[in-house]
């Protein structure tokens, strides 16, 4: 793939921490939820663009476990945006051979929202070429704790049946995470100026390249996305090794 005449290596899996919606709205004297609405539009545009650029896995951080303590008004606005996005846009995603996966605990969400998300996932095409993950009520720590508790239950079952407990490998442990079967995230982009992960993909980000920008998410257009791809492409990913000849 070419960006401004430069041949780039496109990351297979991109994650985006979509931050800055509230500040974008405040600058315009609008309610916070107007910022979230603008953010959803941006997210749709970026997903199409990422797919065109050759990204295979695209994961967006929409709502963290910590965000669940925001005001009822803000959460209701976010749930409405999720309802309308998953009613209107999911068929278009399938038409583009995209599969949906939800990362996070759906149980505390309003029942109809949880149901819509579940349906979007199970009705996804089996032969998808693009994988769109929505992290909703997601936290990296909660995800790891859930895996540990599942592992303990499996060990208990093994003990009852007289088998020794399984020893986990990186791969078999990953099978207990929401991202089971997916490649690790290669590039994490965070908009909105903060330089932290805020509990996003803690296990999967072990060797992710991190890209931080002050641009607020509703202003993060496809040109800004390409800047992140170009920056990623120029990084030297060594994974703890040294380059041959050094």
Q: Which active-site residues does the annotation give?
A: 19, 67
- Binding residues for ligand IPE restricted to 65-104, rule: CB under 6 A: 66-67, 78
Q: Does 229 bind ligand IPE (CB under 6 A)?
A: no
Assess contact for 12 and 54: CB atoms under 8 A.
no
- CA 94, distance to chain mean position in Å, is 18
Q: Does 218 bind Mg ion (CB under 5 A)?
A: no
Nearer to ligand IPE, 63 or 229 (CB): 63
Kindly give the pairing relationship between strand 13-17 and strand 57-64. parallel
Q: Does 15 bind ligand IPE (CB under 6 A)?
A: no
**Chain residue whose CB lies nearest Mg ion:** 19
- Binding residues for ligand IPE restricted to 40-69, rule: CB under 6 A: 61-64, 66-67
Q: Which stretch binds ligand IPE (CB under 6 A): 15-23, 87-95, 145-153, 204-212?
A: 15-23
Q: Which of 56, 45, 42 is nearest to 131 (CA)?
A: 56
Assess contact for 37 and 207: CB atoms under 8 A.
no
CA distances from 229 to 8, 20, 122 (A): 8, 20, 31
Whats the size of the chain, residue-wise? Answer: 246
Q: Does 21 bind ligand IPE (CB under 6 A)?
A: yes
Q: Does 192 bind ligand IPE (CB under 6 A)?
A: yes
User: End-to-end CA distance of the chain, in Å?
Assistant: 29
How many chain residues interact with ligand IPE (CB under 6 A)? 18
Q: Which stretch binds Mg ion (CB under 5 A): 11-19, 115-123, 174-182, 238-246?
A: 11-19
CB neighbour list of residue 225: distance below 8 Å, 6 or more residues apart: 46, 49, 50, 53, 189
Q: Does 19 bind Mg ion (CB under 5 A)?
A: yes
Q: Does 24 bind Mg ion (CB under 5 A)?
A: no
Q: Does 133 bind ligand IPE (CB under 6 A)?
A: no
CA distances from 12 to 51, 57, 82, 187 (A): 10, 6, 26, 9
Query: Could you tell me the smallest distance in angstroms from the CB atom of residue 140 to Mg ion?
Result: 17
Nearer to ligand IPE, 8 or 85 (CB): 85
Query: Could you tell me the smallest distance in angstroms from the CB atom of residue 80 to ligand IPE?
Result: 13
Q: What share of residues in the chain are helix, strand, coil (percent, to 5)?
A: 45, 15, 40
Rounded to whole angstroms, the Cα distance separating 205 from 193 reads 19
Rounded to whole angstroms, the Cα distance separating 26 from 40 reads 17
- Among 13, 14, 15, 20, indicate the residue that binds ligand IPE (CB under 6 A): 20
Residues near ligand IPE (CB under 6 A) are 17-23, 61-64, 66-67, 78, 192, 194, 196, 198
Residues near Mg ion (CB under 5 A) are 19
């Amino acid at each position: 793939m070419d960006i401004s005449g430069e041949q780039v290596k496109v990351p297979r899996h991109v994650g985006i921490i979509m931050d800055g919606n509230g500040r974008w709205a405040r600058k315009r004297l609008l309610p916070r939820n107007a910022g979230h609405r603008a953010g959803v539009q941006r997210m749709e545009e970026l997903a199409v663009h990422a797919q065109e650029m050759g990204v295979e896995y695209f994961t967006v951080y929409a709502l963290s476990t910590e965000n669940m303590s925001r005001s009822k008004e803000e959460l209701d606005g976010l749930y409405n945006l999720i309802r309308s996005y998953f009613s209107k846009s999911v068929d278009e995603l399938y038409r583009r051979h995209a599969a949906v996966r939800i990362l996070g605990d759906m149980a505390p969400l309003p029942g109809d929202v949880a149901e819509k998300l579940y349906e979007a996932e199970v009705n996804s095409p089996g032969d998808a070429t693009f994988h769109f993950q929505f992290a909703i009520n997601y936290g990296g720590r909660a995800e790891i704790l859930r895996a540990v508790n599942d592992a303990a239950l499996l060990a208990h079952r093994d003990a009852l049946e007289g088998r020794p407990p399984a020893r986990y490998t990186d791969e078999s442990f990953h099978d207990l995470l929401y991202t089971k079967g997916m490649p690790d995230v290669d590039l994490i982009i965070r908009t909105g100026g903060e330089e932290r992960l805020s509990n996003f993909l803690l296990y999967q980000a072990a060797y992710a390249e991190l890209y931080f920008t002050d641009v607020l998410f509703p202003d993060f257009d496809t040109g800004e996305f390409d800047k992140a791809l170009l920056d990623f492409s120029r990084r030297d990913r060594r994974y703890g090794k040294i380059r041959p000849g050094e």
